[in-house]
Amino acid sequence: MTLTLKRPITLLLLCLMLSACSTTNTGNRLVVEPPSKSQIKSSVKDQVSMMLNAFTPVAGQALPNNTVLATYAERGYRPIWIQDKHIAPSIYKLVTILEKANSHGLNPIYYHVGIIKHYLSLKSPTTQQLAEMDVITTIALSSYAHDISNGRYEPQLIDPNWQLDAPSRDWKDLLSLNTAGEMVDSLPLLAPRNPQYQVLQKWLVYYQQLAKKEKDIVVQPGSALSIGDEGPRVSQLRARLVQLGDIRFSTRKVDEDRFDKKLKEALQSFQHRHHLSADGAAGANTIQMLNVPLKKRAEEIAFNLERWRWLPNKLEANRIWVDLTNYSVDTYLNGNRTTMKTVIGKPDRMTPVFKGTMTYMVANPSWRIPHRIARENLLPKLQADPNYLGKHGFRVFSSWSIGAKELDPTRINWKNIAPEDLSFRFEQIPDEDNALGSFKFMFPNKNEIYLHDTPAKYLFRRTDRAFSSGCIRLEHAAAFAKNITNNSPQANVLASVMKSKKSKVITLPTYIPVYIVYFTVVPNANGMPEFRNDIYHRDELMERAMGYKAFHVKESL
C-alpha cells in the first residue's frame, strides 16, 4: 500500500529531534524525494530509544519497552511496518484491533491509536516521521500483546493478598516473527483460551454496547413485588429483566403490567446469578441489585478479565480449583470433576490467592496452632478459663524447638502473659474435636494455608461461609482423600490408618496443582454472567488502581 496520506502533522512529540528528508531545488519549486531504505533504517535506530523514553509506562503498568528495543536490535534496526517504501497493510488491521481493545476491558488510549492514525494521515511523511510511526506502532503492538496475555497491571501492586501471577512469554515470541502481518495475525491467539474468559468477553461487549444505546431501566423502590401483582413497577421489572437478558425476546403477547409465572421464573434466574435468595419476589435487595448500572457491571466484568490474564493461559487437566467467592472446591482428576462446599477465611483473615502443589496429606493430624491464632484467639480463652486446654485436648510446650518440654497448663499464670510475649507452642491431639478433623491436605507455601477437615459441619449449611482464619475447610474431607489416592497403593494405606486412628503422613501418588482463585463475575451453567459478592472488597482495589472505565475513550491529539 503506497503512502497516500492527507494532511501535515499537527502534533510532534516534544522529546523527539526533528530531521528533514532529502530535497532538490528545481527552479523556485522544492521537490520532496522519497526516503531511501538506508535513510529509514538509520532513522529508526535513532528514534527507538527516544520513543521508548517518551512513552515510559506509568507506575503499576507492565509495559514491555525493553523487548521493543531488543526486537529492533535483532533486526538490525530494519523497520517493521514499512516494506519497500510502502506501509504494510497489516498496520491498518492492527489499528482496528487496538481500537477494539475495550472489548477485553482494556482502554484503546493505552495503545496510542490516535497517534498512529495521525502519522498515517500524513501526505508526504519525512524519514523521521516514518521512523517515528514504525517505532510507536511496534510499542503499541508489544504493549497490547503483553497486556492481552499477561494482564496490564502487576497484581501485587493492586492487592498484596493476590499472589497468583503466571506470566507467559508467548507475546515476546510474537515479536520474533518475520513479518508485520504474521505478528498481527498472531495477536488474537494471545488472549486467555479458557471458555470462561471468552464468554465473559462477549458479555462485556454486550453491556458496553447496551449502555451506549439505551438508558438503564430502573425499577422504582417500593413494596416487594410478587406473582399476581399488577402496575407500572411490574412493567419496569419485566423491561429490566429483558434488558439484562433474563427474559428472551418473544413474539407472544403478554400483559406487561401483570406479574405472571414466566416473570417469576425470570426473576428467579436473575436472583440465582446474583447470589440472592431465589424466592421469585422483588424485595429491596433484589431491586437494589436490578438497578446496578450497566456501566458498573461492565467495569466489574473488565476487572475479572484482567484477573484471568494473571492466570496461566493453559490450565493443567488435573488440578484442584478453590473458588473463594463460590465457597467451593472443584477437583479435576483423570477427566472427572467433583465439587464440594468450603469454608474460607474471614474478611479480616483473608485467604490469599495463589498457586501451590499438593504433595502429601496427613491422616488423623494433630494441630500445631499458628502464633497469630494462639495470641488472638487462644490466649483470651485461657485467661478466662485456665482449664481450657485440658477440656479441648490441647498440649502446651515450652517453645517451638523440636525437643521443647511439655508443660502443665494449670501451673501457668495465663492472665499475666501479654499477647506479644506469648512464646509457647500449642498442639491439639488427634480426636473427633480436633479443629483439623481427620485430614489435612498440604501444598507447602509461605502463607501456611492448607485444606482440611472440620468438626464444625453446621457451617456448610450457611450461604456465606467466610469463617476460618485463612485455611480452607472441606465439606467432605474423607471423600476428597479417597479421590486423590484412588487406584493407588496409598489408598490401602489410607484405609488402614483411618482404622488405627494414628497420625500418618501419606505422600500423594501424583502431585496436584492447587489454584486458589477469586472472581466476582463468572459465567453460570447457562452462559449468563453470575455476579458474586465481593467478599474481600477486591473490586474496589481494582477500580482504584486501574483507574479506567471499560469503555472506548477517544484519544485526543
For residue 140, tell me if it sits in a domain: no
> pLDDT tens per residue, the chain (557 residues)?
333 333 222 233 323 333 333 333 434 333 334 556 565 556 666 666 666 666 555 444 545 567 888 888 898 888 999 887 789 999 999 999 999 999 999 999 889 999 999 999 998 888 888 888 998 999 999 999 999 999 998 898 899 999 998 888 899 999 999 999 999 999 999 999 999 999 999 999 999 999 999 999 999 999 999 999 999 999 999 999 999 999 986 656 788 899 999 999 999 999 999 999 999 999 999 999 999 999 999 999 999 999 999 999 889 999 999 999 999 999 999 999 999 999 999 999 999 999 999 999 999 998 888 888 899 999 999 999 989 998 888 899 999 888 899 999 989 999 999 999 999 999 988 887 788 999 999 999 999 999 999 999 999 999 999 999 999 999 999 999 999 999 999 999 999 998 888 899 999 999 999 999 999 999 999 999 999 999 999 999 999 887 754 444 444 33
The residue among 364, 394, 429 that closes a domain is 429
- Is residue 399, in this structure, part of any structural domain at all? yes
Contacts 24+ apart (CB under 8 A), 380-385: 382/409, 382/414, 383/414, 383/415
Four-residue CA torsion sign, 336, 341, 347, 351: negative
In a domain, residue 318? The reply is: no
Spatial neighbors of 109 by CB under 8 A, at least 6 apart, are 553, 555
97/191 Cα distance (integer angstroms) = 13
Give the global pTM.
0.84
Task: List the CATH number of the domain containing 259.
Answer: 1.10.101.10
Judgement on whether residues 295 and 379 belong to the same structural domain of the protein = no
> Contact, 11 vs 557, CB < 8 A?
yes
> Residue 108: helix, strand or coil by DSSP?
helix
Name, in order, each residue with C-beta under 8 angstroms of 404's C-beta and a sequence gap of 6 or more: 397, 398, 425
* Last residue within a domain, chosen from 429, 456, 491: 429
Is residue 233, in this structure, part of any structural domain at all? yes
> 354-363 and 439-442: which strand pairing?
antiparallel
pLDDT at 391: 87
Q: Is residue 244 part of a domain?
A: yes
**Torsion angles phi and psi, residue 164, rounded to 5:** -105, 105
Cell of 481: 482423600
Own/partner pairs, 434-439, CB within 8 angstroms, 24+ separation:
434/365, 434/366, 434/367, 434/393, 435/367, 436/365, 436/367, 437/477, 438/363, 438/364, 438/477, 438/478, 438/498, 439/361, 439/362, 439/363, 439/365, 439/474, 439/477, 439/478, 439/480, 439/481
- Long-range contacts, stretch 299-302, CB < 8 angstroms, 24+ apart: 299/543, 299/549, 299/550, 300/520, 300/521, 300/531, 300/539, 301/105, 301/200, 301/203, 301/204, 301/207, 301/521, 301/529, 301/550, 302/105, 302/204, 302/550
How distant is the alpha carbon of residue 494 from its chain centre? 36
Instruction: State the pLDDT at residue 207.
Output: 95
Q: Is residue 462 in some structural domain?
A: no
Cell of 245: 437478558
pLDDT of residue 334: 93
Residue with cell 485467661: 383
Which amino acid does the sequence have at 552? H
Q: Which of 155, 166, 174 is nearest to 192 (CA)?
A: 166
Residues marked active site are found at 452, 471
Within 8 A by CB and 6+ apart from 326, the residues are 522, 532
**CA–CA distance, 329 with 112 (Å, rounded to integer):** 42
Cell numbers of 275, please? 447470589
Count the neighbouring beta carbons within 10 Å of the beta carbon of residue 17: 8
Cα torsion 26, 27, 32, 38 to 10°: value is 40
Boundaries of domain holding 268: 197-299+525-546
Residues 292, 386, single domain; the answer is no
Grid cell at residue 237:
421489572
Long-range CB pairs of 173-180 (<8 Å, 24+ gap) are 174/145, 175/67, 175/68, 175/71, 175/138, 175/141, 175/142, 175/145, 176/71, 176/74, 179/88, 179/90, 180/80, 180/81, 180/83, 180/88, 180/90, 180/91, 180/94
What's the structural domain count of the chain? 2
Residue 266 lies in a domain: yes
Residue 285 in any domain: the answer is yes
Residues 295 and 201 in one domain: yes
Quote the cell numbers at residue 49: 530509544
Instruction: Extract the C-alpha cell encoding 361.
Output: 496429606
pLDDT at 22: 37
Alpha helix (H) ranges present in 485-530?
489-500
